[in-house]
A and B are shown apart, each in its own frame.
Chain A
Amino acid sequence: MSNIKKAFENGKAFIPFITCGDPDLDTTFKIVKAAADNGADLIELGIPFSDPTAEGPVIQEANLRALTSGTTTDKIFDLVRNLRKEVTVPFVFMTYANVVFSYGAERFIKTAKEAGVDGIILPDIPYEEKEEFSDVCEKYDFDLISMLAPTSENRVRMIAKEAKGFIYVVSSLGVTGTRDVISTDLSSIISAIRETTDVPCAVGFGISTPEQAKKMSGISDGAIVGSAIIKIMAKYGKDAAPYVGEYVKSMKEAVSQN
């Protein structure tokens, strides 16, 4: 069984996203530990990329801070190895295709798996291009996470059928970033997923409040939050860990009310 599935066995899942190296890797270590200690079910570790085309300004700036502080793919592998000594919650990487491609797909995935990561989200790898990495992912039992968007319509079943780990349902059009209101009707997408696969699905993009997290995990298996956490990290810098921990706790409580 995919390790990621375990993340969905403890009621509705809360999935925080953390950009590694923002503001530095020592702080990331503390933040990830705080998130895990406070109920995060699965943690998305962002590997910074110079030109993150799916991100809004908040995560773009986090990427820039992380790269400026000298964060590299190899240093993030070291971070994960260290975290694995203290944290058992499943990890997935979130980055862009070129980060994996330039490292060498097989070398990247083998190293990631050995370090203790279970899967990867690549927003610039759609279904049509997943062969780029899917064979080597399968070889190392590493889940290439599929994404679905409000515009996926006729593509939902095709994608869900081959999904691994969990399905990332993008809540709304546009890039990452907090939104006051998420108005998209995701029910038809989620019911099509349910009819096609038993792989769990979680909703992300735009979620920041406990109410939104409760609502989105209510219609799916979990809620993913990125920009709201990055904002806390931007505000408190090296002292962010306890604040992120507190936030994760409130969000896990919210999703657990379902």
Chain B
Amino acid sequence: MTNKDGRFGIFGGQYMPETLMNAVIELEEAYNHYKNDPEFNKELEDLLNDYGNRPSRLYYAKKMTEDLGGAKIYLKREDLNHTGAHKINNVLGQALLAKKMGKKRIIAETGAGQHGVASATAAALLGLECVVFMGEEDTKRQALNVYRMRLLGAEVIPVKTGTATLKDAVSEAMREWTKRIDDTHYCIGSTMGPHPFPIIVRDFQAVISKEIKSQMFEKEGRLPDMVIACVGGGSNAMGSFYNFIDDKEVELVGCEAAGKGIDTFETAATVNTGKVGIFHGMKSYFCQDEYGQIAPVYSISAGLDYPGVGPEHAYLNDIGRAKYVPVTDDEAVDAFEYLSRTEGIIPAIESAHAVAYARKIAPTLSKDKIIVVTVSGRGDKDCAAIARYRGENIYE
């Protein structure tokens, strides 16, 4: 899917300060070595299965299917993983890789806190020091996850610059990496940043689509017709799509956070409203003004509140292999409540964006069609914020 420069068509690349170039080259060499190392892969598989609770279930959502009256809906239950989200898949891989590279410390950015919690968890397990950068605004929206990270032994640094959200956390983690490279691995949380990160994160998340494929064959004896996942930077979506890219009959749909709507400035729907740019190490789509200043984006979901998207998604969009649809705050909150009531599954507000699109599309499809929706994380962390959205103040 990439050429030798780590590009996806025109997207991707390594737009990084010279100070970090040897670090990303060293990472690429290490990754290329270990990804083919049977011992590394065995160790990772054991961690994913015995510790991470993989494989995650592919669950037939019978009530939801019947209620919507169209396509058959399966949920890929990444919310059942250890730490409650798909983030652990990538983090166990990267933390193990960091350890093999002789690093003593991992740093990470986090939006909703799920990647930060996963990083803190893997660091605790593997005996690594862990520092997590989190926008100050997000530390307020996701106070419970801040506590979890600290409980797990990580240091959480609130980032006050810019919009004090995910993009600022990424910038600050990159700054920190330039200060301390020798013993530190930047454990990036999504399929973004400079090459080789988009490939490494995708490969570690590709276990999602690998499992969907074999589970679907077991249950239905065929491929699904559509795979739906939410997209911020795009790691759970890339993981859900990857093993279906060559199966052209499987429609791939990424759900972007439209915030208050793509016709407003309060949106984070990058593919739908952004244009091509260069930022955070990569060429991709970014929400920006006419002079290339990165726009202050907005979404109710801290995990999707990012002005860019991973370069492979930008590419899949441009070649028409995947499509990216906007889902508003209102639709996502409705879906959050809908899945809770209908299936007894409280999805992360990020994942609720994918559920919302499934609610829209399933009734328009015939009953012999099959949809898979990736529930990328569990929604316990969002309950207080959604209650506030509905005008109810609850105290955690």
Chain A: which residue is nearest B162 at the CB level? A51
List of B residues within 8 angstroms of A29 by Cβ: none
A170's contact among B18, B23, B181, B294, by CB below 8 Å, is which? B18
Contact residues on B (Cβ < 8 Å of other chain), bracket: 35 or more
Whether A50 lies near B162 (C-beta < 8 A) is: yes
Q: Mark B140-180, 1 if CB is under 8 A from A, else 0.
A: 00000000000000000000011000011001001100111
Alpha-carbon separation in the docked complex, A56 to B181 (Å): 17
Whether a CB of chain B sits under 8 angstroms from the CB of A140 is no
Whether a CB of chain B sits under 8 angstroms from the CB of A97 is yes
Whether a CB of chain A sits under 8 angstroms from the CB of B263 is no
Q: Mark A90-106, 1 if CB is under 8 A from B, else 0.
A: 00000011111111000
Whether A123 lies near B17 (C-beta < 8 A) is: yes
Alpha-carbon separation in the docked complex, A102 to B174 (Å): 22
Alpha-carbon separation in the docked complex, A53 to B293 (Å): 13
Whether a CB of chain A sits under 8 angstroms from the CB of B19 is yes
CB distance from A47 to the nearest CB of B (A): 9
List of A residues within 8 angstroms of B279 by Cβ: 51, 96-98
> Known contacts A53-B280, A102-B290, A103-B291; is A127 also within 8 Å of B18 by CB?
yes
Whether A53 lies near B174 (C-beta < 8 A) is: yes
CB distance from B157 to the nearest CB of A (A): 13
Can you list 26 A-B contacts (CB < 8 A)?
A: A51-B279, A53-B280, A54-B17, A54-B175, A57-B161, A60-B161, A97-B15, A98-B277, A101-B277, A102-B290, A103-B291, A103-B292, A123-B18, A124-B15, A124-B16, A124-B17, A124-B278, A125-B15, A126-B14, A128-B13, A129-B15, A147-B17, A149-B17, A149-B19, A152-B21, A152-B22
Q: How many residues of A contact B (CB 8 A)?
A: 42
Q: Mark A65-102, 1 if CB is under 8 A from B, else 0.
A: 00100001110000000000000000000001111111
Whether a CB of chain B sits under 8 angstroms from the CB of A26 is no
Whether a CB of chain B sits under 8 angstroms from the CB of A5 is no
Q: Please give 18 more A-B residue pairs, beta carbons under 8 A apart, in addition to A97-B279, A103-B292.
A: A49-B292, A53-B175, A54-B17, A72-B291, A98-B278, A99-B292, A99-B293, A102-B277, A123-B17, A124-B15, A128-B13, A128-B14, A129-B13, A147-B18, A151-B18, A151-B21, A151-B23, A174-B178
B171's contact among A51, A147, A150, by CB below 8 Å, is which? A51
CB distance from B198 to the nearest CB of A (A): 15
List of B residues within 8 angstroms of A102 by Cβ: 275, 277, 288, 290-292
List of B residues within 8 angstroms of A54 by Cβ: 17, 175, 178
For window 111-131 of A, CB contacts with B under 8 Å fall at 123-129
Chain A: which residue is nearest B294 at the CB level? A50
